[in-house]
Amino acid sequence: MEKSKSLVDIENSSFGSVSRPHRIEREDRRKPVAGPYESGRNGLALEFAGMATTEDPQAVGDLEEWRRKRYEATPERQGELFSTMSGVENEPLYTAENAPVDDDELGFPGDFPFTRGVYPSMYRGRLWTMRQFAGFGTAEETNERFRYLLEHGQTGLSTAFDMPTLMGYDSDHPRSLGEVGREGVAIDSLADMETLFEGIPLDSVSTSMTINAPAAMLLAFYACVGEEQGVPLAALRGTVQTDILKEYIAQKEWIFPPKPSMRLVVDMIEWCSREMPLMHPVSISGYHIREAGSTAAQELAFTLADGFAYVDACVERGLDVDDFAPRLSFFFNAHLDFFEEIAKYRAARRIWATRLREHYGAKNPRSWLMRFHTQTAGVSLTAQQPEVNLIRTAIEALAAVLGGTQSLHTNSFDEALALPTEHAVRLALRTQQVIAHETGVVNTADPLGGSYYLEHLTNELERQAIEYFDRIEQLGGVIPAIEENFFQREIAEASFRYQSEVEAAQRVIVGVNRYQQEDERPLELLRIDPALEQKQIERVRAVRAGRDSAAVEAVLAELKRAAEGDANLMEPIMAASRVFVTMGEMCDALRDVWGIWRETPVF
């Protein structure tokens, strides 16, 4: 079988003939020969066989008959809903009759349309990257946590920045008061980035940075640390989130209006494809969309719509799709509805591959591949009986692995209460290690592929996503839809529906609306020392005091000039970073030129 050929043109490859015997087998299996009831493997089956015989000695012939004679013979439980968490209705049973499986839509792992995974060997070749998101206090504290995680077997770094950094304010800005180092690490200038990666050779790790509005500045700081360590830019590996569209939609950490923000994103993509080819310049994120309360289908649809918007913007710039698409990466949530989540990842791969090949005409098979990071759902963690979160996270992580993720963050059980302690983080990492080494789910690619239910859900989520693409297109695209609050309203609607279902006890959350427990023992929580804020404020002031101020003024003026025109902004940002211009100063320069974004609040 010619592998490369099947990648390019599935119709004319030997692929079709290979799949035929599978289909015949499946039809054979469907015939009602000796039913499973006769196997008598356990007491339950025997008892049920007995029950069935008194009514009808023959095994049922089809699904409709099964439903009528068998299923409806006993009442359903009342109260809780049988639909998925996102509201997709579920039938009591899926078979080839109501959920026929089309092998062509599945393909093989590593083959178009990649429903079954992006790599032929999947986890037999390489396990996913275990990448725990970390960051708090100043660069010093986070550097210590990074080293701790690397010592405990983590294989990639992932940086959480504090709120002022996410919003483009330096630590000594009045808006930063009380927020410095609280929800991530405070990074104001290259000096902080140097401390953050002290003792960590950048050619030996891949680093992910969850930063969006000021992503270009943080990428430049990272590149400068690489330069200082003597690592060529072309050898730096990692991911910068940079997904500003989902900020307007869900995460809400923005600075500039959408249009100049998009220009900055395209500048980064263009620059990285030339200078840092191993860096993923954008991680198109559904995670935050889901955390904001969306359904799985909305997460899928809005994330992919954002992805297409970035592709459109790059193509408009004149870039060749095959020059940048292979470096686009994705980031999804892993929530608790197990099969729905797995279906979501599989549908995402198929939609992306199909759209990139058919619509954008990408010829490089690597452009068709959707590779993604996953994080378990923070929103599913409960403050009540927090140890139970270990179990939730394990199940979510398993869904991500069965969905074929390339990297994974597992939340710590104490995160509904505070940033995690070292103990809690270690357990979260161990959860991934148990899945990888003890459960056996890594031994074959897409082990659930072909499940009637899973394939049905995959098709259903794909259908719902395509419906959303049409609605977004009717609104004029992603940016006009943001300006009209379309996404924000859809998400608020979904999150309110879910909350109402929880409050009506149609959805049970263990420890919250059932199985509550009084007198819970308080957990040991991580406390961020309030003194760190002052320490960081002094640091940034010391950096400013020690600079060549003429050089600073010159590079900032150059940055503004470049922003007024249409040159790529990465070089002026690199130049500013090298002379220790702060992130906040660069953002201020751009605020002067571009203005700021304000959302019309809706609820």
Partner 1 sequence: MPGKIRVVVAKPGLDGHDRGAKIIARALRDAGMEVIYTGLHQTPEQIVETAIQEDADAVGISILSGAHMTLVPRILELLRENGAEDVVVVVGGTIPADDAEALKQQGVAAVFGPGAPTGEIVDFLKGAVAA
Binding mask 128-167 for partner 1 (x = CB under 8 A): -----------------------------------xx-xx
| Smallest distance from partner 1 to CB 518, Å | 14
**Residue in 281, 358, 369, 372 with CA at minimum distance from that of residue 319:** 281
**Site of tokens 């400068």:** 224
Least CB distance from residue 469 to partner 1, whole Å?
A: 24
* The binder of partner 1 chosen from 379, 436, 475, 554 (CB under 8 A): 379
Q: Which is nearer to partner 1, 179 or 585 (CB)?
A: 179
Distance CA 598, CA 579 (A): 32
Distance CA 497, CA 100 (A): 31
Q: Which of 56, 66, 55 is nearest to 30 (CA)?
A: 66
- Report how far residue 378's alpha carbon sits from residue 183's, in angstroms, rounded to the nearest whole number: 14
Q: Does 436 bind partner 1 (CB under 8 A)?
A: no
Comparing CA positions, the residue from 113, 117, 116, 119 lying closest to residue 10 is 113
Q: Shortest gap between Cβ of 489 and partner 1 (angstroms)?
A: 10
Torsion of CA 206, 150, 399, 492, to 10 degrees: -70
178 forms part of the interface with partner 1 (CB under 8 A): yes
Q: How far is the CB of 166 from partner 1 (least distance, A)?
A: 7
Select 164 or 403, whichever has its Cβ closest to partner 1: 164
Give CA–CA dist 483/602, Å, rounded: 12
Of the candidate residues 81, 466, 509, 551, the single one contacting partner 1 (CB under 8 A): 509
Asked if 247 is part of the footprint of partner 1 (rule: CB under 8 A), the reply reads yes
Q: Find the shortest distance in angstroms from Cβ 158 to partner 1.
A: 19
Pairwise CA distance, residues 494 & 296, whole Å: 10
Exposure pattern of 181-204 as b/e (b: 16+ CB <10 Å)? Answer: bbbbbbbbbbbbbbbbbeebebee
Nearer of residues 126 and 514 to partner 1, judged by Cβ: 514
Is the Cβ–Cβ distance between 343 and 458 less than 8 Å?
yes
| Amino acid at residue number 256 | F
Question: Applying CB under 8 A, which of residues 19, 229, 495, 506 lies at the interface with partner 1?
Answer: 495
| Choice between 10 and 492, CB closer to partner 1 | 492
Binding mask 569-588 vs partner 1 (x if CB under 8 A, - otherwise)? --------------------
Q: What string marks each residue from 335 to 374 as x (binds partner 1 by CB under 8 A) or -? A: ----------------------------------------
**Choice between 290 and 456, CB closer to partner 1:** 290
Choose, by CB under 8 A, the member of 291, 455, 462, 585 that binds partner 1: 291
Residue 512 binding partner 1, by CB under 8 A: yes
Q: Which residues pair with 134 in a beta bridge?
A: 159
**Residue 282 belongs to what H/E stretch?**
strand 282-285
Q: Measured from the CB of residue 553, what is the shortest distance to partner 1 in angstroms?
A: 28
Is 600 an interacting residue with respect to partner 1 (CB under 8 A)?
A: yes
Closest C-alpha among 313, 330, 315 to residue 239: 330
- What would the two tokens of residue 130 be? 């275990």
Q: d(Cα 508, Cα 382) in Å, to the nearest integer?
A: 12
Q: Is 392 in the site for partner 1 (CB under 8 A)?
A: no
Q: Which of 26, 67, 237, 252 binds partner 1 (CB under 8 A)?
A: 252
The position carrying tokens 């959920």 is 99
How many Å apart are CA 107 and CA 115, to the nearest integer? 7
Alpha-carbon distance of 298 to 86, in angstroms, equals 9
Residue 20: enclosing H or E segment and its boundaries?
helix 15-30
End-to-end CA, the chain: 56
Residue with Cβ nearer partner 1 (166 or 581): 166
Nearest distance from residue 471's CB to partner 1, in Å? 21
Look up residue 455 and give its amino acid: E
Cα–Cα dist 524/478, whole Å = 44
Rg (CA), the chain: 26
Contacts with partner 1 by CB under 8 A: the residue count is 47
d(CA 329, CA 308): 12
Q: How far is CA 552 from the centre of its chain?
A: 37
Nearer Cβ to partner 1 (230/601): 601
Q: Residue 251 or residue 333: which is nearer to partner 1 going by CB? A: 251
* The amino acid at 200: I
Backbone angles phi, psi at 376, to 5 degrees: -65, 160
CA distance 267 to 38: 66
Residue 511 Rama label (left phi>0; alpha psi -120 to 50; beta): left
Nearer to partner 1, 380 or 459 (CB): 380
Q: Smaller CB distance to partner 1: residue 52 or 209? A: 209
User: Applying CB under 8 A, which of residues 19, 155, 354, 384 lies at the interface with partner 1?
Assistant: 384
Contact between 206 and partner 1 (CB under 8 A)?
no
Token pair belonging to 251:
């995460």
Residue 121 as a binder of partner 1 (CB under 8 A): the answer is: no
Which residue of 141, 188, 253, 299 would you call a contact of partner 1, by CB under 8 A?
253
Cβ closest to partner 1, residue 10 vs residue 418:
418
Kindly state the smallest distance separating residue 325's Cβ from partner 1, in Å. Answer: 29
Nearer to partner 1, 419 or 435 (CB): 419
When asked if residue 57 is in the footprint of partner 1 (CB under 8 A), the reply is: no
Lookup result for tokens 């098979």: 365
Among 23, 126, 175, 463, binds partner 1 (CB under 8 A): 175
Q: Least separation, in Å, of the C-beta of 182 and partner 1?
A: 3
179 touching partner 1, by CB under 8 A: yes
Residue 521 beta carbon to partner 1: minimum distance, rounded to whole angstroms = 12
Residue 182 CA, distance from chain mean position: 23
Is residue 499 part of the contact set for partner 1 (CB under 8 A)?
yes
Q: Least distance to partner 1 from the beta carbon of 496, Å?
A: 6
User: How near is the Cβ of 383 to partner 1 at its closest, in Å?
Assistant: 4
Q: Does 595 bind partner 1 (CB under 8 A)?
A: no
Interacting stretch for partner 1, rule CB under 8 A, among 55-63, 410-418, 437-445, 476-484? 410-418
| Bridging pattern class, strands 372-376 and 157-160 | unpaired
Residues that bind partner 1 (CB under 8 A): 163-164, 166-167, 169, 175-179, 182-183, 247, 250-253, 291-293, 379, 381-384, 416-419, 492, 495-496, 499, 503, 509, 512-513, 522, 525, 528, 530, 598-603
